[in-house]
Amino acid sequence: MPARASNAGTITVGDRCVAFHFDAALFEEIAATAAGSHRFRFPIAMLPSGANLAPSIVEALLHASGESLAKADETAIATADIVIRTVSGLADAPPSPMPRERRRLIRAIDYLEEHGDEAISLDDLGAVACMSKYHFLRCFRALTGVTPHQYLIALRLRRAATALRTTLEPVAAIAFELGFGDLSTFNARFRSAFGASPQRFRRRPMVLQRRSERAPE
């Protein structure tokens, strides 16, 4: 796997160590953008105390424990990008996708829409868009405002909401058919997105606005 996080072991009581493993080519590509040189090497053994990497480390610990594996590459790459920028002092400059890149990104979005219930990796999407996965991740986020994983989860949740309203399928069946591998994770994500559990959302009466109450066109 080109980028991954692993639980490297216990240092002292209560401490956890997370190790990131990168292919040399991927690390050099990240360094070339984040530090301005693919020959970047860490000049210090630890980050400045002000660097806030807690969210990324928490995500990495989840991946190392076997959870949220579909997002593992995104987290590893984002963490490397943040660390290298912090050390090098180079500010982030989000890319502005060129027309050809936009067409490739739209092709990847179409792929997500068509295969949204399948396990899709960053490598898969990069191949569809004919981009390295690091460049694809940056361009996708610049175009849509979210990561590919976030886009995929939102897509699945919208489809789940539609299925809950239009079918009598059990909640678990809907969740698994749409690609959620864990029912508790699906329930938590759905509640966060729609403000209600799937069961309560299904029972909630639909509010139809009368023509006379609609805003004038």
Per-residue pLDDT reduced to its tens digit, 61-106: 555 554 455 577 888 888 888 888 888 887 777 788 899 999 999 9
- Nearest to residue 138, comparing CAs of 89, 100, 105? 105
Instruction: Render pLDDT for 135-192 as a digit per residue (tens, 0 to 9).
Output: 999 999 999 999 999 999 999 999 999 999 999 999 999 999 999 988 999 999 999 9
Measured CA to CA, the distance from residue 93 to residue 142 in angstroms comes to 10
What are the structure tokens assigned to 17, written together?
Answer: 């160590």
- Does the pLDDT at position 110 exceed 80? yes
Q: Reply yes or no on whether the pLDDT at 10 is more than 90.
A: no
Contact status, residue 201 vs residue 194, Cβ threshold 8 Å: yes
Q: Give residue 18's region: left, alpha or beta (phi > 0; psi -120 to 50).
A: beta
First to last CA, the chain: 53
DSSP single-letter state for residue 45: S
Closest by alpha carbon to 155, among 70, 95, 97, 77?
70
Q: Which CATH number does 151-203 carry?
A: 1.10.10
Cα distances from 97 to residues 1, 21, 147, in angstroms, run 27, 28, 15
